[in-house]
Structure 1
């Protein structure tokens, strides 16, 4: 992997899949006698991420409204 001028690296898809890393996940850098390690953070997820996780799968997919009707409802029309 190559480090960019902004200090970024791309974690290969195989590694992300093996360790369950998703976009938005936090990672930590750990330095020990064996070198530098990137580990999935055990910090609490952000407030927004917790809210999304709580709401995931709770929507009512049985609504028979068109996109235009939903948008009008959201706009208060």
Structure 2
């Protein structure tokens, strides 16, 4: 695996699946001697209230009751 100029690497799909890493996930690296360890950060590692809010957003992503308005009507309401 090659490291980019920005220090980025691609986490292999099987590792992402095993750790439950999805777009937007927080991860953490640690060192033990000369070994780097990657793990998915738990919500408490991210910061209580922020983590709870982000979990709420993820659970409701793509859902919204517009009270019968069309998307165009809603966008017009936002713009006015």
List alignment gaps of at least 5 residues for structure 2: none
Structure with bigger gyration radius: 1
* Conservation of the 8 A alpha-carbon contact between 2:19 and 2:39: no
Q: What is residue 24 of structure 1 aligned with on the other side?
A: 24
Q: What is residue 9 of structure 1 aligned with on the other side?
A: 9
Bigger fraction of residues in helix: 2
**RMSD of Structure 2 on Structure 1 (CA):** 2.6
Residues 1-24 of structure 1 deviation map (CA, whole Å, 9 limit, x = unaligned): 211111110001221112100222
Residues 16-74 of structure 1 deviation map (CA, whole Å, 9 limit, x = unaligned): 11210022222222211472111112312583x6434325436326x432222111111
Cα distance in 2, alignment partners of residues 7 and 16 from structure 1: 18
Q: Summarize the alignment of residues 1-77 of structure 1 with structure 2, pairs less than 5 Å apart.
A: 1-33=1-33, 35-42=35-42, 43-44=45-46, 47=50, 50-55=52-57, 56-57=59-60, 59-60=64-65, 63-76=67-80
Q: TM-score, normalised by structure 1?
A: 0.69
